[in-house]
Structure 1
């Protein structure tokens, strides 16, 4: 079969790598792809939001299955467009992708169906938000309602910080239209865990756990980013916690979406906080996480195409997910200055050497081909992922591999997976 992947980052590279292992696949295309994805797929210069062009391409090439990576096209309704044109596609329809597209919607959903989460209020004007800040307990969390590349969340320790945050999001439009509505919620403490799950509209199959590192600098300092590194599995996510979440969070979320007429097929990403009062939902995403995918998919044993097709056909319950009994750590190599201004176009060396090392993957996020070289083309450049028999070994392997790759203005955190030592 022929498969088309929509996207061009590290997540899509990991998806392409895993799809290429399926004996069912004869050809892979990726739009727009990147320099690393070219190893597995023919890259097509079509943007992720050019739905009609993508559908035209899929029809012309006889694509049997399209897999959507990023959030923007899902929230924009790419699945609806493809289905209307008779094309087979993996991902939630526009009305279901709203679970990520609007934080206010997802919070109201959780409130209505008694799914554990932080208390909150949503505001449509800055004036209402400023008034609410007068009687808050601090710290609090401000969240832009819409999509903001994983950066639309501000933790505010004082009323002054919160007021600045409201101004930045709602008046200065730091995140554009994503800040038209603002969610203010209580600050939760505990361990964060990322759980990706396959969904077929009724049933849900949870993948192995992961933990992301959002802040740009060591010790969780600096600005929020799209993610600076991950590890899998999380030693803090036990079978007992999984059973609780399945009963009170994952299955109720699927049921709630169905009752709302928004049946969810695709990837449900649940960001959890393991609080002293039990697990609570931080947020939902409607797609594979980035860079969580880079540590979860290398550990997956089950054929990914079989899983996608089971979700689309509504028979996920007949399939058993299997993962390797190992661990993986991903260290993101970024351009200095990310997530603010940074320079690009620098030659990357060491990639060929890494290919010789078993259990090491250089998932390309922001790269492109320039003449015969691979050069930097984004804030997050590469996700250097390594496996190991346990988390500590995987962490050592990942950092050792990260040193092999060289480019000007290279930056990475030095404490990805440090929490492992505390487990």
Structure 2
């Protein structure tokens, strides 16, 4: 049975999508656990702070370098084979850490796990989008898929930390290796066709993939996406510094972070059930306007509970707008090249996650934390403009998405 046939059957996408979400939870839990275990073990072995920075960056650099090739591969082969490849990479990463006797093997382990998680998300987002036949259903699907990183990121570090305390690093790596293997089992049982061949994808290479950015709509969606990533990175980077300057305790700072995580998870969980009530084209505009206001007032909040409230609002905004951006991304490119578009997004996200904290550190030294929040508010104003143009474009009719235009 083909992906299209499954998509046409009423309600038939529910079980496959839940299986895909479970598969991605395993991949993200593995990566989340590795992000805890590898730096801790490296520190115990006497690694320098620079080495730890390189180790953490490997989780993002490797998938950024390979994302476009994997996007093309996914467009050619559908879901099953790419998902199996992603899970295999993650399992090999955990096993490499188990056998690691040097920092170089730890770098390799981090790269494999980051690559497996990133590749899995590309394959799952592409396959999941093909199981919905309307904008409302597609938004619901993307909301469900967005739960996987949040759940995996919550379970993986908690379980890994406990296993390390009780049984040590070696056992933790073996447990983490089991998670993607379970994902392999789940992926192999998802009834989605994985072998459709797409002529346009067969011609695709690095240059033609980046040629997708000639589409104005895709560029605008990417601006929104990168601004969300930048604001999320700044929030995570600057919040501990801001809290420390205000004299907040570690518990209070942790509670502020928890307010974001909990609100984001709740928003993603609720959105599938209320998606049909949203005017989807206006969500990015509303999100950008709220983010501008939020980042403008954030540094002025004097009390922990006020910052918790602001953090929770930020979590709701991010949790709501990210599935919407995925919907807009799907509608901005030819259907047969959606995997490539997801790869471009993944590549940009991974590069941003690697580079932005370094930039924030430099700017923070010269400008201070409060100024960084206000500068981000100014940058987010560009997102307001991009969102307005997307609304105008949708109202005037979408541009042609023929593959010939962008090859």
**Which bracket does the TM-score occupy, shorter chain normalised?**
under 0.3
Greater helix proportion = 2
User: TM-score, normalized by length of structure 1?
Assistant: 0.27
